[in-house]
Structures are given as C-alpha cells and as structure tokens.
Amino acid sequence: MSDSHRRDGTDGGGSAVASGLPSPSSLPDGRPEAIKAVKLRHPWRIAVAVVLVVLLVLFVLDAAQRKAFGWADVGKYLFDVRISQAALVTLELTVYSMVIGVVLGLVLAIMRLSPNPVLKAVSWLYLWIFRGTPVYVQLVFWGLITLIYNTIVIGIPFVHTWAVIPITWVPPLFFISVVGLSLNEAAYMAEIVRAGLLSVDPGQEEAAKALGMSWWQTMRRVVIPQSMRVIIPPTGNEVISMLKTTTLVAAVPFTLDLFGRARDISAETFTPIPLLIVASLWYLFFTSVLMVGQYFLERRFARGTDRGRPVVGIGVDVEPSVAAGGVGGVR
Amino acid sequence: MSAADRRAETRTAADAAPLPMVDAVAVSKSFGANEVLKSITLRVRRGEVMCVIGPSGSGKSTFLRCINHLESIDAGRLYVDGELVGYRQKGGKLYELKPSEAALQRRDIGMVFQHFNLFPHMTALENVTEAPIRVKGVPRHEAVARGRELLARVGLGSHSGHYPSQLSGGQQQRVAIARALAMDPKLMLFDEPTSALDPELVGDVLDVMRGLAESGMTMVVVTHEMGFAREVGDSLVFMDGGVIVESGDPRQVLADPQQERTRAFLSKVL
C-alpha cells in the first residue's frame, strides 16, 4: 500500500498531471529533490539587537568615567586579602549550611511521606514554621537565642524545680549563622526531596513490597536512588541561592562574610559603591562557576535513567535482538 | 499452634483433604462506595494453575492483590497455606499484623505485574538478587549464583548485566518472573502478565509460565490469554462485577459456557 504510493510520487508525471498540482522534480536515481527555499527573514530582531548594543556601549562608556563608581578603589580592593578571606568565609557558610540542609531535608521529606502519623505531623509542623517565616527574621531570632534560653532547669515543669544551671557557653556567631541558614534551607530541601520521592512510579514501591521488603528497605534501595534524578538539579539551584542568602547573616549579626566585610571596609573608607561592586564581582564569579556545574549536572540527569549510568557487559554478551530493541544505552 | 489448628479454630474441620494453597471465604472489598469484590469464595489447590478472566473492572486484579495483602479486605476470610492473610486471630478477635509480619507473609508469595515494575536502576541480575540478599539475608555469592540460574531458566542467561531499559518488554517480564522466583515462593500471582506486551513477545513469557506450571508451581493467573488458560490452566474463573459468574474446567467453560454473561464475554474475546 505505502509502496504503491511511493511509486506514484516518484515516477509520477502521470498522476501529478492528473491532479493538476506541481510535482517535485526528481534526481537521476528517482528520489525527490531536496527543498531549497528562501529562509524566513527577521529584520526586527536585528534592529532591536543593534539598538540594545548601542545602549549597552553608551552605558559602559558613561559608567567608566563616573567618579562615584570609584573604579580605582574597585581595583584596589578586589584582591584585598580581607576580601578574599571573607569570600572564603562565605563559601564555608554556603557549604556547611547546604550539607546540613540537604541531610535534614531528606530526613524531613522521608518523615513526611512515612506511614507514621506522628513523624508526618512533626515534619509538617517544622515546614510550617520554617517556610512560613522570613529567613531574615529567623536569623535575628537565632542571634538572640542566648537571651531567650539562658538556663537549664531540672525538675518537673511548672511544678517543682531541683536545680537551675546557667548556660555560660556563648555559641560563635559563625555557628549561629550556619544553624539559622541550614534549618531554613532544610524546609525547602524537604519539599524538593518530597517531589523527587513522589516522582517515582508507585509500581516500584509495590514491587518491592511484594518481594517482602520493609518500608525502609524500599525507600533506601528502590525509591531514593530513583528520585535522585529529580532531586539533584533543583538542589544545584538551591546552592546558588544559598550563596546569595548568606549575605543575610548580617541579621545575626555576623559580619565576617563577603558582604559584611565589604560593608565594614567601606564604613571606614567612606567608599561604599566601589566595595559593593567588589562584593558583587566576587558573588558573580562564584555563581558563574556554580552555574557551569549546574549545567553539566542537569545535562547528566536529564538523560534517561538508563543512559546516565555506565553500561555493564554491553558488547560482550549483547544479542542482535537487544541491540535492535534497546534504547540509547546501547548506542 | 500449627497452621491447620489455627484454621480448624475458625472453620469446621469437615474436610480432611490437604490444605488448599489459597482459601477465600466470602471475601469482600470496597473502594469507598464502590464494591469491587462481593463475597468471593474460591479455593486454589496445591500445584493448581487457576486462570481468572473477566472484563476490566470486574475485580480480578483487586482479588489478586488481596491475596498478598497489597490491598486489605473488608469482610470474609482469606487464607494462604492455612494462614490468615494480614491478620492474626486470637480469642475470636482479629488483630492487624505489624508491617514486618505482613512482609514476612508476602515474601512467600511471588507477584508478577502487568507493567513488570522492574527496578530501573539495577541490572537484571541485581533485580533478581536484591530481595534474597536484603530480605532473606542470603549470602551474596549464593544469591548471584541462584540469580544467574534463574535468568538462564527464563532464557536470559546472557542478559544478566543489562538494565531493564535495554531489554524488550517480553525480556523484562521474564526478568520479573525470575525476580519473583528468587524468593522461592510457594504461590505465584500473575496480574495480566502479557497485557502490556507486543503480540510477538507474548509467546516467550507464556512459555516461561507454562514451564513453571509444569514444574508444579501453584499459580493464580489473571489473563486475557484464552489459549494459555485452555492449555495450561487446571481451572478457570470468570469474574464480572465483583462476583464469580462461572468457574470450572477451562476447556469446558471456554467451549460451553453455562452462563449468559460468560457467553457474551467469550464471544467478544475469542
């Protein structure tokens, strides 16, 4: 059927003439000639692009000669040792907060999806509080924690007191900053992990159950590994977001991070604008590096579950039927 | 208390015949207001291959899922190998089983799903060895040796290193059968095992199931493969609207259905 159609189309003077429509000219071997059409033009795109480039050049030229930007100071402080040390502190804040946030988020998400209503309620309450209040406010609270809780009371609550132990340990501000950032991050990571866990086909859980696997075995061996594909790309986003959120530790108040340090220096030198630019350049540098990593991460995880992993045994014992029927992994 | 004693406590000990593998007594199940199973009573003998047919929504898959307690039943009693499924009976009262106890019951019952449900992040061999290693605590080298043997048995000896996505549907379903067999089940449940397959791949899976039946495995097979039911089945159950409309010898039921509803269904599918 399709074969006869093809024959009509190619050796086709007869049928084409009969229908009155122009027929494609044929190559010597009978195949139809490739289409060579005039490309659609987009003159407005070019016009708008030219205008934008002109505006950008004007802005740069103008900025370069504006005194307020203080370009000399930008150059002076960009690689100042105080700034680069502060940049390191910002990275530390980011890494510690993210690691704790991811682990705690995973625990919260698993609690939320567990069949245990007590764990579910605890997780829900946590998310409600930490997602429902601004991170800035949370950080101020953590900074004041020693004012709120300054004694340990041993006894029966509201009835009898045996001993009162004053808390003399004052946690370092860096520690408080990490606690504040990571507890807030955990709430968001929990939602990301939860979405990932829910993305796994319910049939997987059912199959594991039918094999007699426990709920935790099912989670750890079957559901969590498959959810990583969905969880990892947005987690990369969270890292980039966290890097910038660390500026809010000023609320603790912790000031040894990149932005805090830049502000401190400018408070002495009365040159706030160049130091803002210095800080921005550092943040931009870090986020750019992270965005490159994010790109490769997403490319890696956008691939099918099969294509992402090394293929074992292929080429050794592959059968023709598999090569034909299989998907990308074989290629 | 032995399994037989337990059973005798709740049921009259009239039958001295060997314990049936599956004994369903007036099993009922509803999803909300929708009554999916209406007092299903049937028995599957040891070594019997029972095929369950019927239109979609007739409750046949739900019944299968009740047998290994993936769904709980609302009324009636369901015994597998003399053990009450999902509950413990003590002093005339039923107690819900702990998840770990329910898991213990399930691991003796193999299940094969319509959509295979293989673990996509594990190779065929890892799929087969996962449960024996994790659930039964079988040493890895033993599980691997047995896994290879089972894959060879379903005709996939050379595919142990392949991921499910590198296998055709028929091959995946055969791995799924090997995975269920790796737990040495006493009963195998098949939920439309060939319905999601290309027609040309159905034969291989049915061959494996036929071999399994010949080896004496007790099987309950929900299927639309009337040919398989006729050749391999010891008994046939036709379900519709949550009740058993007709049951008996498959050759007899398929050739000469007694109920009008059965006749109407068979005239459409045969």
> What pLDDT is recorded for position B231?
92
- Is residue A326 very low, low, confident or very high in pLDDT (cuts 50, 70, 90)? very low
Tokens of B14: 């009239």
B132: nearest CA in chain A? A211
Q: Considering the entire predicted model, what is its pTM?
A: 0.78
- Please indicate whether residue A206 or residue A157 has the higher confidence score (pLDDT): A206
Name which residue leads in pLDDT, A35 or A322.
A35
Among the partner-chain residues A215, A221, A305, the one whose CB lies closest to the CB of B134 is A221
Dihedral angle over CA of A143, A145, A151, A154, nearest 10: -150
Task: Please indicate whether, in this complex, the C-beta atoms of A326 and B70 are within 8 angstroms of each other.
Answer: no
User: How far B205 CA sits from the closest chain A CA (Å)?
Assistant: 16
Query: How far apart are the CA of B136 and the nearest CA of chain A, in angstroms?
Result: 9
CB contact (8 A) between residue B165 and residue A329 = yes
Render pLDDT for A122-140 as a digit per residue (tens, 0 to 9): 999 999 999 999 999 999 9
Average pLDDT over all residues of chain A: 85
- Cis amide linkage into residue A253, ω under 30° from 0: yes
**Band (A199; pLDDT cuts 50, 70, 90):** very high
Is A160 a residue whose pLDDT tops 60? yes
In sequence order, which ranges of chain B are alpha helices (DSSP H)? Answer: 3-10, 60-67, 99-106, 124-131, 140-153, 169-181, 199-214, 226-232, 250-255, 260-269
DSSP assignment of A201-247 equals -HHHHHHHHHTT--HHHIIIIIIHHHHHHHHHHHHHHHHHHHHHHGG
Interface contact flag, A313 B115, Cβ < 8 Å: no
Confidence of residue A325 (pLDDT cuts 50, 70, 90): very low
pLDDT value for A163: 86
Is residue A227 a contact partner of residue A193, using CB atoms and an 8 Å limit? Answer: yes
Enter the ipTM: 0.88
Chain A positions touching B120 (Cβ under 8 A) are 226, 305-306
pLDDT above 50: residue B96: yes
**CB-closest option in A203, A226, A304 to B113:** A203
- C-alpha to C-alpha distance for A179 and A204, rounded to whole angstroms: 36
Q: What is the pLDDT of residue A153?
A: 87
**A262-271, A295-304, B95-104, B127-136: which has the minimum mean pLDDT?**
A295-304
**How much of chain B, in percent, has pLDDT values that exceed 90?**
84
Q: Is A20 left (phi over 0), alpha (psi -120 to 50) or beta?
A: left
Give the nearest chain A residue to B107 (CA atoms). A212
Q: What confidence tier does B230 reach under pLDDT thresholds 50, 70, 90?
A: very high
Chain A residues inside the 8 Å CB shell of B162: 312-314, 322, 326
Q: B50 near B222, Cβ under 8 Å?
A: no
pLDDT of residue A150: 85
Choose from B117, B129, B201, B220 for mutation: most chain A CBs within 10 A.
B117
Instruction: Provide mean pLDDT across the span A240-251.
Output: 95
- The residue among A114, A199, A205, A211 with the most chain B CBs within 10 A of its CB, best to mutate, is A211
For residue A8, what pLDDT is reported? 45
User: What residue in A sits closest to B65 (Cα-Cα)?
Assistant: A210
Which tens digits make up the pLDDT trace of B168-196?
A: 999 999 999 999 999 999 999 999 999 99
Other Cβ atoms less than 10 A from the Cβ of A162: the count is: 8
The pLDDT assigned to B17 comes to 66
Partners of A309 on chain B (C-beta within 8 Å) are 121, 163
> What's the gap in Å between the CA of A330 and the closest CA on chain B?
7
Each residue's pLDDT tens digit, B22-63: 999 999 999 999 999 999 999 999 999 999 999 988 999 999
- List residues of A whose CB lies inside 8 A of any B CB: 115, 201, 203-204, 206-215, 217, 221-222, 225-226, 304-306, 309, 311-314, 316-317, 319, 321-322, 325-327, 329-330
pLDDT in tens, B138-171: 999 999 999 999 999 999 999 999 999 999 999 9
Q: In the predicted model, is pLDDT for residue A302 greater than 70?
A: no
**Tell me, what's the pLDDT at A30?**
80
List the one residue out of B11, B46, B16, B40 whose CA is nearest residue B28.
B40
pLDDT tens digits, one per residue of B70-83? 999 999 999 999 99
Q: Quick one: tokens of B209? A: 């199931």
| Interval A103-116 mean pLDDT | 94
- Residues from chain B that touch A327, judged by Cβ atoms under 8 A, are 165-166
For chain A, say whether B34 makes contact (Cβ under 8 Å): no
Indicate yes or no: CB of A210 within 8 angstroms of CB of B164.
Answer: no
What does the DSSP assignment read for A295-315? Answer: HHHHHHHHS-TTTTSPPSSTT
Amino acid in the structure at residue A15:
S
Q: What are the DSSP calls for B77-129, one per residue? A: EEEETTEESSEEEETTEEEEPPHHHHHHHHTTEEEE-TT----TTS-HHHHHH
**Which chain A positions have a beta carbon within 8 Å of B108's beta carbon?**
212
Instruction: Flag whether residue B183 sits within 8 Å of chain A, measured between CB atoms.
Output: yes
| Nearest chain A alpha carbon to B69 | A210
Select the residue of B110, B131, B166 nearest A329 (Cβ to Cβ): B166
Contact A309, B121 (CB under 8 A): yes
Does the structure show a pLDDT above 80 at B226? yes
Q: Is B129 on the interface with A (CB under 8 A)?
A: no
Cα of first residue to Cα of last residue in chain B, in angstroms, is 48
What is the nearest CA distance from A211 to chain B, expressed in angstroms?
5
Close Cβ partners of A301 (under 8 Å, ≥ 6 residues apart) = A228, A229, A232, A233, A308
